[in-house]
Structure 1
Amino acid sequence: MSELTLKQRFIASLERKDVDKVPVCSVTQTGIVELMELTGAKWPDAHYDPEKMATLAIAAHEITGLEAVRYPFCNTVMPETLGCTIKEGTLDTQPQIIDFPCKEKKDVAGMTVPDKLLESRRIRTVLQATDIVKSRLSDDVPVIAGILGPAAIACCLCGVNNYLMWCITAPEVLEELLVLGTSACTEYANALFDRGVDAVVIIDSESGPDLFPPPLFESMILPHYRSITQDLKGHSILHICGDATEIMDKMADSGFEGLSIEEKVNLAYASKVVAGRACLIGNVSPVFTLLERSPEQIKKEAKQCIENGVGILAPGCGIAPQTPIEKIRAFVAARDEYYGLGQKGK
């Protein structure tokens, strides 16, 4: 097989085509403190300044060797745009939601997607960062943007307690928020595709078994995923934190080309369940492995992920900000060693 570009390999992997080696990247957050210090593009400014956002995102590719550029670095872009109050975070902590608009069921009736959604401050920042990334980057490198999915948006807008209660006691009210989230998510994602993004990652952990009742996933969540994937203009990945084992089969029927999973999911088992319907992405622990273990231990676990059938080698969730650059480089090197040795995983 002739040498593929990073983008060709990434897209072919999402499309479940044969590749010379699995890509190694992160489809989740990539901002780490060492990169911030090297580039001067630091949190919290890099969440709100398109130039700094682009600079820090590109650094994760150019300095650590990760084979994609991924941004933004937090999950508060859409919640703030839709009315949540945000605490901006620090050098090594992400922005957080501190207040939300839908405290009672009656508040949901007044919620709509803004007419000028794409002109809002936070979304405009990410779109401008996309333009900067595309202007600085070779077209051979894949560009990935992360956005919240409908369940995550709904949960942010009404708070965790209401979200958990309403899925049982007032599903019709929660459905209104899911519809809103689906519409906003789709519009935003397609704007990113129009700017040249190669794939969007829909981050929707609030639909996973750790929070949402698995028996309700098929009836309440899956239709919205299918709506999103049918309407998107480009490649799509679904990321769900926690142990998503119970819903893996339905996730594979959602229309997303890639499924990003944490280390809590047994990858070998997931490979059997998904059975080629989607590209599995993950699932090396960003904390217990990349942050806390030695480069040799990182390599061992990364190689095992490839052995167990991962289609794109990646951290199972966002990279911890204090992770050293050398640990991420070891993670990338593991993929090269796996294929270079000629003996799988040894």
Structure 2
Amino acid sequence: MSTLKNDLLLRALRGEIVERPPVWMMRQAGRYLPDYLKLKAKYDFFARVQTPELATAITLQPVDQVGVDAAIIFSDILVIPQAMGVEVLMEEGKGPSLPKIIQTQQDIDALITEGAEESLKYVYDALSLTKKELNGRVPLIGFAGAPWTILCYMVEGKGSKTWDKAKQFAYTQPALAHQLLQKITNITIQYLKLQAKAGADTVQVFDSWAGSLSPADFKTYAQPYLIQIADALKDDVPVILFPKGSWYALKDLSESSAAGLGIDWCVSPQMARELTGNKITLQGNFDPSMLLAPIPDIKKAVTEMIDAFGTQRYIANLGHGITPNVPVDHARAFVDAVKEYRPR
């Protein structure tokens, strides 16, 4: 194991004193980088995800080209439904679709929850290879989708703005919903433990659609499973939970075993600090659309963001994934602004 030359991210997650906040960007490996687009033109989506050499090359691009303080493995949250035996199609420009949705007890009984070791081996191989290629330059982040978000796709069958079908399933068949959530949780825990074993220095759990739930429903359908995952992994790696849109859960989640909480741009840094009592490292919360602003405006907004969060127990990041239309030099300006930050 090579020692890390840049361990800012891990120190920030442990709450240690850092000279500046670490910076990385959700979805930094991919769509906005010209070199990624070249690979995209040659290989379909799941070929890119399932070929360790390709996944590694894509993971390293932003480290080399944008200068982020961490690499996040190139993969997808929907590898979990695939490993459970559910077909996932990815059409360019259309997003994912799952032709056979989960509706009944039989559907849930048929799901595979064992064997994440074999079925997702390509992810661990990509992590090990990336770890080797990084050679200690920066930490490597592994990830998975949160159980509620994965349920959304498995029940809805495709992306949605409102997730009505998923919510209807939870409200009309709560016992089935909890069975499904527990099955997803079990395989996700195995999966993340194996990621840690393969070289992930920390893992993030993306609850991208948590914000579709009311505070009470979040407590029922999302929070218990996020906490289970954080508890199960706390001795393996630091866990970052990112329940997008669920600012109301910050207080409860700050009392969990998680090391960090990701927040989106709909909550102010001050409010996030207040809700979490400064007990946990916060990550975020720059609006990705702001990366389309002129570079001087990006740099000014980054400085204001860090002023508001403070430099300690903080990871500079976006409030959601970087969008494909962001110019690479704007992404780099975001990263540079964090690196150049000096408290005023």
Superposition TM-score, scaled by structure 1 size: 0.87
Within-5 A mapping of 1:279-294 = 279-286=281-288, 288-290=289-291, 292-294=292-294
Give the aligned partner of residue 53 of structure 1.
55
Q: Which amino acid aligns with 2:194?
A: A
For residues 262 and 59 of structure 2, the distance between their equivalents in structure 1, rounded to whole angstroms, comes to 19
Give the aligned partner of residue 337 of structure 1.
340
For residues 257 and 13 of structure 2, the distance between their equivalents in structure 1, rounded to whole angstroms, comes to 12
Give the aligned partner of residue 175 of structure 2.
172
Aligned residues of 1:203 and 1:240 also touching (Cα < 8 A) = yes
Segments of 5+ residues of structure 2 without an aligned counterpart are 157-162
With over 3 angstroms needed to count, the CA separation of the structure-2 counterparts of 1:319 and 1:76, relative to structure 1, is same
Q: Which amino acid aligns with 1:71?
A: I
Give the aligned partner of residue 151 of structure 1.
148
Give the aligned partner of residue 23 of structure 2.
24
Within-5 A mapping of 1:77-156 = 77-90=79-92, 93=93, 95-102=95-102, 104-120=103-119, 123-156=120-153
For residues 24 and 37 of structure 1, the distance between their equivalents in structure 2, rounded to whole angstroms, comes to 21
With over 3 angstroms needed to count, the CA separation of the structure-2 counterparts of 1:211 and 1:107, relative to structure 1, is farther
Secondary structure in structure 2 of the residue aligned to 1:314: strand
Give the aligned partner of residue 198 of structure 1.
201
What whole-Å deviation, never above 9, does each CA across 1:82-107 have from its counterpart, x for those lacking one? 233323343xx5851242431x2333
Q: How many residues align?
A: 327
* Cα root mean square deviation, aligned: 2.2
Within-5 A mapping of 1:209-220 = 210-220=211-221
What whole-Å deviation, never above 9, does each CA across 1:118-145 have from its counterpart, x for those lacking one? 222xx22221111210111122411002
With over 3 angstroms needed to count, the CA separation of the structure-2 counterparts of 1:27 and 1:13, relative to structure 1, is farther
With over 3 angstroms needed to count, the CA separation of the structure-2 counterparts of 1:267 and 1:127, relative to structure 1, is same
Deviating more after overlay: 215-224 vs 147-156: 215-224
Superposition TM-score, scaled by structure 2 size: 0.87
Segments of 5+ residues of structure 1 without an aligned counterpart are none
Aligned residues of 1:41 and 1:52 also touching (Cα < 8 A) = no
What whole-Å deviation, never above 9, does each CA across 1:247-283 have from its counterpart, x for those lacking one? 2212222321111111112222111111122211011
With over 3 angstroms needed to count, the CA separation of the structure-2 counterparts of 1:332 and 1:94, relative to structure 1, is farther
Give the aligned partner of residue 231 of structure 1.
232
Aligned residues of 1:225 and 1:255 also touching (Cα < 8 A) = no
For residues 100 and 144 of structure 2, the distance between their equivalents in structure 1, rounded to whole angstroms, comes to 18
Deviating more after overlay: 37-46 vs 258-267: 37-46
* Residue 272 of structure 1, aligned match among 247, 271, 274: 274
Give the aligned partner of residue 322 of structure 1.
325
Q: Which amino acid aligns with 2:176?
A: V
For residues 100 and 205 of structure 2, the distance between their equivalents in structure 1, rounded to whole angstroms, comes to 21
For residues 114 and 244 of structure 1, the distance between their equivalents in structure 2, rounded to whole angstroms, comes to 28
Give the aligned partner of residue 181 of structure 1.
184
Q: Which amino acid aligns with 1:49?
A: T
For residues 118 and 198 of structure 1, the distance between their equivalents in structure 2, rounded to whole angstroms, comes to 19
For residues 276 and 189 of structure 1, the distance between their equivalents in structure 2, rounded to whole angstroms, comes to 27
For residues 24 and 189 of structure 1, the distance between their equivalents in structure 2, rounded to whole angstroms, comes to 22
Aligned residues of 1:35 and 1:60 also touching (Cα < 8 A) = no
Secondary structure in structure 2 of the residue aligned to 1:88: strand
1:169 Cα deviation from its structure 2 partner: 2.5
* Consecutive aligned runs of 4 or more in structure 1 exceeding 4 Å deviation: 37-43
Q: Which amino acid aligns with 2:139?
A: P
